[in-house]
Amino acid sequence: MQVINVPNTGHLTCPCGSWKNHWVKFNPNKLAAMLQLDCSAVGCAGKFEHGGHVRKAGDMTVYIVPLCAACNSAENIGPYYIYDHVSRVPADPRATCDPR
Ligand SMILES: [Zn+2]
Ligand SMILES: [Zn+2]
Protein backbone atom coordinates (compact mmCIF):
# COMPACT_ATOMS: atom_id res chain seq x y z
CA MET A 1 0.00 0.00 0.00
CA GLN A 2 1.25 3.43 -0.91
CA VAL A 3 1.35 6.03 1.85
CA ILE A 4 2.78 9.46 2.51
CA ASN A 5 4.03 10.93 5.77
CA VAL A 6 1.70 13.47 7.35
CA PRO A 7 3.76 16.64 7.92
CA ASN A 8 4.09 18.49 11.22
CA THR A 9 3.14 15.64 13.51
CA GLY A 10 6.29 15.79 15.65
CA HIS A 11 4.57 17.67 18.46
CA LEU A 12 1.58 15.30 18.72
CA THR A 13 1.32 13.11 21.80
CA CYS A 14 -1.21 10.67 23.19
CA PRO A 15 -1.81 8.88 26.51
CA CYS A 16 0.09 5.82 25.24
CA GLY A 17 3.38 7.62 25.89
CA SER A 18 4.68 7.07 22.37
CA TRP A 19 3.15 6.41 18.99
CA LYS A 20 5.08 3.17 18.91
CA ASN A 21 3.21 2.06 22.04
CA HIS A 22 -0.01 3.35 20.52
CA TRP A 23 0.45 1.12 17.47
CA VAL A 24 1.20 -1.95 19.60
CA LYS A 25 -1.67 -1.27 22.01
CA PHE A 26 -4.37 -0.80 19.37
CA ASN A 27 -3.15 -3.38 16.90
CA PRO A 28 -5.98 -5.90 16.36
CA ASN A 29 -3.34 -8.61 15.91
CA LYS A 30 -1.47 -8.81 19.24
CA LEU A 31 0.92 -11.53 18.08
CA ALA A 32 1.86 -9.64 14.92
CA ALA A 33 2.36 -6.49 17.00
CA MET A 34 4.73 -8.33 19.33
CA LEU A 35 6.71 -9.78 16.45
CA GLN A 36 6.99 -6.53 14.51
CA LEU A 37 10.65 -5.54 14.87
CA ASP A 38 11.21 -3.96 11.49
CA CYS A 39 10.19 -0.82 9.67
CA SER A 40 7.08 -1.51 7.57
CA ALA A 41 8.36 0.35 4.48
CA VAL A 42 8.88 -2.02 1.56
CA GLY A 43 12.60 -2.55 0.91
CA CYS A 44 13.73 -0.75 4.06
CA ALA A 45 16.17 -2.58 6.34
CA GLY A 46 15.52 -0.24 9.27
CA LYS A 47 14.08 -1.20 12.63
CA PHE A 48 10.70 -0.32 14.13
CA GLU A 49 11.70 2.74 16.14
CA HIS A 50 8.71 5.03 15.73
CA GLY A 51 5.00 4.92 15.16
CA GLY A 52 4.77 7.15 12.11
CA HIS A 53 1.77 9.26 11.07
CA VAL A 54 0.85 8.38 7.48
CA ARG A 55 -2.12 8.56 5.17
CA LYS A 56 -3.11 7.06 1.84
CA ALA A 57 -3.52 9.23 -1.24
CA GLY A 58 -7.11 10.47 -1.42
CA ASP A 59 -7.86 9.46 2.19
CA MET A 60 -7.53 12.05 4.94
CA THR A 61 -7.63 9.47 7.74
CA VAL A 62 -4.31 9.43 9.56
CA TYR A 63 -2.88 6.08 10.59
CA ILE A 64 0.07 4.98 12.69
CA VAL A 65 2.45 2.43 11.16
CA PRO A 66 5.82 1.04 12.32
CA LEU A 67 8.70 3.06 10.85
CA CYS A 68 12.43 3.49 11.31
CA ALA A 69 13.85 6.93 12.10
CA ALA A 70 14.78 7.57 8.46
CA CYS A 71 11.34 6.70 7.05
CA ASN A 72 9.63 8.70 9.81
CA SER A 73 11.86 11.71 9.16
CA ALA A 74 10.44 15.03 7.96
CA GLU A 75 12.82 14.69 5.00
CA ASN A 76 10.90 11.67 3.75
CA ILE A 77 8.35 13.68 1.78
CA GLY A 78 7.54 11.44 -1.19
CA PRO A 79 5.04 8.58 -1.35
CA TYR A 80 6.37 5.12 -0.47
CA TYR A 81 5.03 1.61 0.02
CA ILE A 82 4.42 -0.24 3.25
CA TYR A 83 3.80 -3.97 3.50
CA ASP A 84 0.10 -4.76 3.20
CA HIS A 85 0.16 -7.31 6.03
CA VAL A 86 1.17 -4.66 8.58
CA SER A 87 -1.80 -3.27 10.49
CA ARG A 88 -2.61 0.41 10.25
CA VAL A 89 -3.89 1.81 13.54
CA PRO A 90 -6.02 4.98 13.55
CA ALA A 91 -3.96 7.86 14.93
CA ASP A 92 -6.85 9.87 16.32
CA PRO A 93 -6.73 9.52 20.13
CA ARG A 94 -10.48 10.20 20.31
CA ALA A 95 -11.05 7.00 18.33
CA THR A 96 -8.56 4.98 20.36
CA CYS A 97 -6.75 5.84 23.60
CA ASP A 98 -8.41 9.08 24.72
CA PRO A 99 -12.16 8.91 24.05
CA ARG A 100 -14.23 11.74 25.51
ZN1 LIG B 1 -2.42 6.45 22.07
ZN1 LIG C 1 12.35 2.50 7.21
| Segment 76-91, tens digit of pLDDT | 999 999 999 999 999 9
pLDDT of residue 58: 87
99 Cα to the center of ligand 2, angstroms: 30
Please tell me the distance between residue 41's alpha carbon and the centre of ligand 2 in angstroms.
5
Pairing state between β 89-90 and 63-67: antiparallel
| Ligand nearest the Cα atom of residue 42 | 2
Tell me the pLDDT of the chain (100 aa) as tens digits. 999 999 999 999 999 999 999 999 999 999 999 999 999 999 999 999 999 999 998 889 999 999 999 999 999 999 999 999 999 999 999 999 999 7
Residue among 54, 49, 55 nearest 18 (CA)? 49
End-to-end CA distance of the chain: 31
Alpha carbon distance 39, 14 (integer Å): 21
